[in-house]
Amino acid sequence: MDRLQAIERLFAPRSVAIVGASRTIGKWGFTFALHLTQGGYKGAVYPVNPAGGRLLDHKIYRSLEELPGPVDLAFILIPPEQVAGAVKECGRIGVPVAVVITAGFKEIGAEGRAMELEVVQAAEEAGVALVGPNCAGVTSPEPMRLYCMMQPTFPPAGGIAIVSQSGNLIGSIQHMLWKQDLGVSRSVSVGNQALLQVEDFLEYLITDDKTRVVVTYIEGVSSGPRFMDVARRLCRVKPLLVIKGGQTESGVRAAKSHTGAIAGSGAVFQALCRQVGAILVDDVEDMLDTAVALMAQPLPRGNRVGIVANGGGWGVLIADACVKAGLNVVELPEEVLSALDERLPAWWNRQNPVDLVAGMSRGAFFKSMEILLRAEVIDSLIALGFGYAHGNAHVFDGLTDEDLPGVSEYKAGTLYSDQRGMKFVLDLIRDYKKPVLLSSEFIVGADRDRNEPVLTLRKQNLLIYPSSRRTAQVLARLTRYGAWRMAQEA
Amino acid sequence: MDRLQAIERLFAPRSVAIVGASRTIGKWGFTFALHLTQGGYKGAVYPVNPAGGRLLDHKIYRSLEELPGPVDLAFILIPPEQVAGAVKECGRIGVPVAVVITAGFKEIGAEGRAMELEVVQAAEEAGVALVGPNCAGVTSPEPMRLYCMMQPTFPPAGGIAIVSQSGNLIGSIQHMLWKQDLGVSRSVSVGNQALLQVEDFLEYLITDDKTRVVVTYIEGVSSGPRFMDVARRLCRVKPLLVIKGGQTESGVRAAKSHTGAIAGSGAVFQALCRQVGAILVDDVEDMLDTAVALMAQPLPRGNRVGIVANGGGWGVLIADACVKAGLNVVELPEEVLSALDERLPAWWNRQNPVDLVAGMSRGAFFKSMEILLRAEVIDSLIALGFGYAHGNAHVFDGLTDEDLPGVSEYKAGTLYSDQRGMKFVLDLIRDYKKPVLLSSEFIVGADRDRNEPVLTLRKQNLLIYPSSRRTAQVLARLTRYGAWRMAQEA
């Protein structure tokens, strides 16, 4: 079985063994079994511990040899000096791939390095593909609901794959996606990469049909040319977002004690990413903002952005943010101005951003969006203020038609226009094949979960950004990647 | 009554007239009366409209002259050509201050400019202070619960004041604060600033004891020297955060059609802010992140930051982000390392960020925070991963002590450690008088409203940031302002 076949098995195991299972709450040997179970894993679960007994609803087997059926995937959570032996045993009973969670190898120095070498030799001799050691586990919602990680995060199935040199960051990213009902295809914490490496997983993801966007956290790469080759091939078919840990001296020092990676210079890595088409982002928030947008949006064919604002400051700030991000807040040609003139009152501002001041109808707002999107001169659109009616509906709380004749009809009407607006955005993206980004304050805070249109859009991977900077930067990243893809196809 | 006295009355009116009140849902004359009422205004409300009748629970008076008692504040929402007359009437019955919501003045050209001049003359002759025209209203929770703005946002009383050339941005900022239970002292939308200007409000806020932090959105200032003078005096006693709309050519163009301001260059304004101690931020999100931190945190006395990470990538990313933001991720001297050695297992990473890898006890985490904060070499602290136990508690959902002996005790124990951690942070800030910023993924998404410790901290104005960039930039802004204050006091 080659590496890619082993990875395929890793993400679709029909049975999982937990070597070093424990009945003690709080121990990793307990936690992994718990997460696997609570995640709803569909295959057979085999906890293994010489002590035997039961764990959750599973029988604990005393050794791998005792297991009643074949094992596709073994998680190994026993002390480092016992890991090589367990890997050999995996080989004997035909386990194709093992994830070694145990730490205390290369990252702790010479002694650990020697033990890691021993584990690798055991794996190679036994024909077992190895993830880790010193890693946080794996997620693969389809086909088996495999959630087997340190962190109890259970995002639904989706199109985003995560490959990370930090287990905690996978936990963070999965948590942030999950809590917004956004999905994951595969996650893997690569740990010390003793055998399987970031590049192997990226290569697998090129043809993985569950994955549409790949995000990766990297502190260092062991082979620059291989990374570049794989990244370039990946970027030709789906976007790759990279967070590079260790871009400054302090970050590099921290990375060295974390994964032992000799982190390269930030500037060199940036140039490298640009060359292969990868999208470099600074932190988890920027990564998610961008990854989710890439799930929903077509790539812009140029950097000319149209903006529709619902009055005042936001339009100005978005225009500033777009220019700073390298986008062109294009001046509108006469034919577009005329088309807008026909739909808008005489006093509209006749420029981009189109500023539909407070009080203008939602119909005019939607119409302006469509006129801009239809224009040849516009490659992408930013619309402000979405979620308005739902965000403000609370003001009618406690008022009945008796107190205020017509209030229920009025409220229903505005809420309907919000719902219609959300559907309209989805239709626009589909019909004009240009990205439409939304920016608004109405997703901040508790009430967003009562804001149905916001939830409707989110289920379609359309986020609303509460920041002009974030909106503009996401669009700029889509635009740069779109330009790279066009250059590759030319 | 001078300008400052008029502003004082504006924020504490014992009675409010709505000139141009309407019974039609959706009209501004209705909306302002509704918001005033739903906001729980404690004084007398006098809707005024020649048609008479009733509006919500109020009698509509046919004219200002008919009102049964004195009026401290009049909102004017009638067509522009009638505004001067209404202002004169305000003067006749002794109204000291009027807020003109009506648009269609200076911002629409020559004809509007003439009408605006007429309104100003009327106000000056009648001795009425004027806010607006073309503005969105006023908020002042204390002492009268005055919420009288276009946008239905009702933040609680708090220490943040908002002065804005964009009414919509006030609505956004108030919405974002409100939905996180964060409070406002005063908000005012200055509109065309025909009479009262941004600088007048900033001057008032210098001595307003309800206000601890001032945020302002500005597109242009009418008098540079006055702005600098007032801003400098304000910054000596409380922080001033500025968003400057119109920093690029596109932004300036948008601003020109918005407020008619001739926006200055971004670089010039940036230098000006630095000189007077104002904190320039790019967007609403950065502004709120920073304003709320300034409410809770002491100012750092230098740029040396300590970091405590709970494993891996976040520590590396925060270190990078701090350096990029101009902070010093200081190397720890031997005595601090020794103090940490005593509390941490032998294999800790012995550097800053202190990386407490997964599985280390919460006690060690808290102890490390205190050791760093106590060190002379540390001016501020960033701690990662807060809200962990509550963020992850769901994994035990559905498990009883019968299924899993000891689970309820274990769960209660981890939740308690989270609660204790939150209290500990508040104590640390109080005892060591150094800022402690928190960064974590556990505030993202719906569950945060079940995350009690997160809510507890938020009520104390302690936000948890889901982004390393945002965390570092907030701390860098506090650090720069702290340095400016120290230079002023030297």
Contacts of range B445-448, beta carbons closer than 8 Å, 24 or more positions apart:
B445/A175, B445/A176, B445/A178, B445/A179, B445/A180, B446/A179, B446/A449, B447/A179, B447/B391, B447/B394, B448/A179, B448/B387
Residue B221 tokens read as 């200032």
For residue B306, pLDDT over 90 is answered with yes
Residue range A126-137: mean pLDDT, rounded: 97
Per-residue pLDDT tens digits for B70-96: 999 999 999 999 999 999 999 999 999
* Helical ranges in B179-325 per DSSP H: 198-206, 224-235, 249-258, 266-276, 284-296, 313-324
Helix, strand, or coil (residue B429): helix
Of residues B38, B151, B323, nearest to A250 (C-beta): B323
Residue range B183-206: mean pLDDT, rounded: 97
pLDDT at A214: 98
pLDDT at B7: 98
For residue A359, pLDDT over 60 is answered with no
Residue A397 tokens read as 């709380």
pLDDT at A262: 53
Chain B CB within 8 Å of residue A156 CB: no
pLDDT at B172: 95
pLDDT band at A446 (very low <50, low <70, confident <90, very high): low
Residue B419 tokens read as 């609660």
Residue range A214-227: mean pLDDT, rounded: 92
pLDDT at B107: 84
Sign of CA dihedral B223, B226, B229, B235: negative
Architecture of the domain delimited by B3-294: 3-Layer(aba) Sandwich (3.40)
Instruction: Name the pairing type of β-strands B184-189 and B240-244.
Output: unpaired
- B contact residues 75-94, partner A, Cβ 8 Å cutoff: none
Q: CA–CA separation, A463 vs A287, rounded Å?
A: 13
Residues 6+ apart with CB under 8 A from A387: A418, A440, A442, A443, A448, A451, A453, A454, A464
* Helical ranges in A39-109 per DSSP H: 80-92
Nearest residue on chain A to B329, alpha-carbon basis: A250
The single-letter DSSP state of residue A214 is E
Chain A CB within 8 Å of residue B387 CB: no
What's the distance, CA B157 to chain centroid?
12
The answer to whether the A3-294 and A298-489 domains have the same CATH topology is yes
Instruction: Give percent of chain B above pLDDT 70.
Output: 97
Calculate the average pLDDT of chain B: 93
Between B418 and A319, whose confidence is greater?
Answer: A319
Spell out the domain ranges in chain A: 3-294, 298-489
Chain B CB within 8 Å of residue A258 CB: yes
Chain A CB within 8 Å of residue B286 CB: yes
Helix, strand, or coil (residue B234): helix
Q: CA–CA separation, A75 vs A193, rounded Å?
A: 15
Residue A464, min C-alpha distance to chain B (Å): 13
Q: CA–CA separation, B462 vs B457, rounded Å?
A: 5
Q: Contact at 8 Å (CB) between B372 and B336?
A: yes
Predicted ipTM?
0.95
Q: Contact at 8 Å (CB) between A61 and A67?
A: yes
Q: CA–CA separation, A444 vs A446, rounded Å?
A: 7
For chain A, what is the total number of helices (H) and then of strands (E)?
17, 20
Helix, strand, or coil (residue B240): strand
Is the domain covering A298-489 a CATH 3.40.50.300 domain?
no
Measure the CA angle with vertex A355, ends A353 and A358; round to 5°. Answer: 155
pLDDT band at B442 (very low <50, low <70, confident <90, very high): confident
**Chain B hits for A79, Cβ within 8 Å:** none
- Pick the most confident of A307-316, A327-336, B390-399: A327-336
Secondary structure element (H or E) that encloses residue B32, with its range: helix B28-38
Q: Which of A283, A365, A465 to mutate to test the interface with B (most CBs of B within 10 A)?
A: A283
pLDDT band at B136 (very low <50, low <70, confident <90, very high): very high
Q: Which of A216, A265, A317, A332 to mutate to test the interface with B (most CBs of B within 10 A)?
A: A317
The DSSP code sequence of A90-149 is: HHHTT--EEEE----SGGG-HHHHHHHHHHHHHHHHHT-EEE-SS--EEEE-TTT-EEEE
Closest CA to A321 of A477, A479, A476, A462: A476
Asked if the Cβ–Cβ distance from A248 to B324 is below 8 Å, we say yes
Residue range B351-373: mean pLDDT, rounded: 85
Q: Contact at 8 Å (CB) between A99 and A131?
A: yes
Between B403 and B233, whose confidence is greater?
Answer: B233
Asked if the Cβ–Cβ distance from B322 to A250 is below 8 Å, we say yes
pLDDT at A360: 61
The single-letter DSSP state of residue B403 is T
